[in-house]
Amino acid sequence: MHVIGGPASTALAERISRELGNAPFAIPFSKRFPDGELYVRIGGRLGGEEVVLVQSSRTDQDFIELLLLEDAIREAGARKLIVVVPYFGYARQDRSFFPGEPVSARALSRHIEAVADAVVTVDMHSPLTMQSFTKPVFEASGIPAIARLLRERPVDLLVSPDKGGVDRVRRMAELLGRPWMSLEKKRIDSDRVELSLPTSTPVDLEGKQVVIVDDVISTGGTIVEAAKLLRRHRVRAVSAACTHGLFLRDAFERIKAVTDELFSTDTLLNPAEKASVAPDVAQILKREVPRLG
């Protein structure tokens, strides 16, 4: 099995290759033509080989690179192509909300699987996107990677910033053997939210070391408000953890100002990257690739 690391996921791809028993690893060459068009090239032939391409699709450029690399790998004669998309961009547009809108997640899924034999992703934003694939698709979780990191740190309580993350924080709590709770959230707009403690199950927070767990941190508004709320209830320390660290605009600095520690997995390059999903992705590849025929 060969592993090729796209420009958006080179470091993670190399880690996956190591988890696969030091599988051959390569970084493609890329450049821009004067007119702005992208050029990519992979080295050597891949006749009859199983190839894993790792490339997050955070931006339009990432997606174009992914498609070009898929085609290059097929042109090189790969027998089987498994595309790992650690962070699947456009997944939030998983349905048409107004007439004339595309279902963006479905559109990207169709293009990726047109050349791939299977797709692996990590903590997809919506189950609807998973359903849009017609070829085999597998979802790794960022929870075990974060749990491996948290085992090295004191944790008294795990917190979900909203009801939507209950399953995530509950699974984390099971892995760590720690209690958990979910905050109540009311969204004001895309950047502002109001948070409160649950009224049904009062929790004494004073002196506790708390970790807020989420799947994606983008603008950081929810995490900042959650940390402030917990501080008002005199927690000893508050940290924040996520699978996908987008940290748009000044989100990283704003969150760091109100937390004791901030960390994410390596699905995206970011300054909080401290845990790796490579073992979890590799486990899926080892288990599922032989079944693809």
For residue 167, which amino acid is it? D
Q: What Å distances lie between residue 38 and 7, 63, 84, 233, 257, CA to CA?
A: 12, 12, 21, 52, 39
Rounded CA separation 38/115 (Å) = 19
Tell me, yes or no, if 31 is annotated catalytic: no
Q: Say if residue 253 is exposed, middle or buried (CB neighbours under 10 Å; 0-12, 13-18, 19+).
A: exposed
For residue 100, which amino acid is it? G
Tokens of 199: 């009224």
Among residues 163, 185, 208, 228, the one annotated as catalytic is 185
Rounded CA separation 267/282 (Å) = 14
Cα dihedral sign for 82, 276, 138, 85? Answer: negative
For residue 156, which amino acid is it? D
Q: How many CB atoms lie within 10 A of CB 121?
A: 27
Q: Which residues contact 37 (CB under 8 A, 6 or more apart)?
A: none
Catalytic residues: 185
